[in-house]
Structure 1
Amino acid sequence: MTTKVLVAYGTTNGSTAQIAEAVAEVLRKEDLTAEALPAGSVARVDPYDAVVVGGGLYAGRWHRDSRRFLRRHRRELARRPLWLFSSGPLDPSASERDIPPVPGLKRAMTRLDANGHVTFGGCLQEGAKGWVARMIIKNGKGGDFRDFARIEDWARTVADELVAKD
């Protein structure tokens, strides 16, 4: 039987969605069934054998849709393999060192017995929504700091752990 994986995400400008799609694509290449969906659109997680949840970081907090997803589905998530990722630093720091989860997410990880967390670089480019985002770009602090090779490597480790559990 093929393991079915949900990759849920919270995003404002689409960067985290692209990371989630890349994770789901790697999982599919590893012979798992995976789909990436916006966290706010997921009504049930019981059809899935495992879950990956990603959230963009905004002012030191995980994206609201991702936080709500963890709260809304906490009972089901506690009974299946769970991995989490954050995206956000607008500099190369996420590729240079391990960045721990923000405090609220760290507490959720403990409660849900998550298998792991990783922080990837973020992306903020011209046309981004929100006044703060526009000011960041105007001040020259935007850019694309996602490392898709690192994202794909991490997704392969998730796949390897899932296959090992079968």
Structure 2
Amino acid sequence: MSRRALVAYGTKNGSAQGIAEAIGATLGTHGIETEVHPASEVKDVSPYGIVILGGALYAGRWHGDAVRFARRHRAALLDRDVWLFSSGPLDATATERDIPPVRGARRAATRLAARQHVTFGGRLETGARGRMARMIVKSGRGGDFRDFDRIAAWATRITQESCAEA
């Protein structure tokens, strides 16, 4: 199986994309050829031995593009090393404790036999799309809560596990 990696993501305001790009960069520094793409644009996962799928959280739901990706590629993903992440809380809770996956991510983890799911803090800033998102920012509860050191450490663990099995 190829040690090439795909990092696919579903996002509305860019938080999950930023996390996906950071994961891709970390994998690349460890010698894993990595591509990062929106989940909605991925047509074929066969070139990849490692697939990392992430989705932003909105109102307790995993981004629809991530859910559809998991469903569409389910058969092929069962033959690959799969990890999942969510981008969500608009506070520090994701760095303080493990946050269990929401229903859509939990289903995907089970159906894809994912190695792990992790939730990272999210980002919601001025210019966010969606009425609720704008209201959150306007109320002062927005900000960037992504912990890029934690994200890089998680991606490094993925490379270590993948290389140990190769």
TM score, norm. by length of structure 2: 0.97
Matched, 1:134 2:134: yes
The Cα shift of 1:57 comes to 0.2
Per-residue CA deviation, residues 91-120 of structure 1 (Å, 9 max, x unaligned), is 000000000101222122112110001000
1:151 maps to which residue?
A: 151
Amino acid in structure 1 at the alignment position of 2:162? L
> How many correspondences in the alignment?
166
State the 4+ residue runs in structure 1 displaced beyond 3 angstroms.
none
Structure 2: where are the runs of 5+ without partners?
none
Aligned amino acid, residue 129 of structure 2? K
Alpha-carbon RMSD across the aligned residues, in angstroms, is 1.1
> Counterpart of 1:31 in 2: which secondary structure?
coil
Would you say the 8 A contact 1:45–1:76 is kept in 2?
A: yes
Structure 1 residue 2: deviation in Å?
6.5
Cα distance in 2, alignment partners of residues 50 and 144 from structure 1: 28
The residue number in structure 1 matching 2:55 is: 55
CA displacement at 1:38 relative to structure 2? 0.3
Q: Secondary structure at the match of 2:46?
A: coil
> Hey, what's the Cα distance between the residues in 2 that align with 1:10 and 1:107?
16
Q: Which position in structure 2 is the counterpart of 1:13?
A: 13
SS of aligned partner of 2:55? strand
Identity %: 57
Query: 1:72 maps to what in 2?
Result: 72
- Would the aligned equivalents of 2:2 and 2:48 in 1 still touch at CA under 8 Å? no
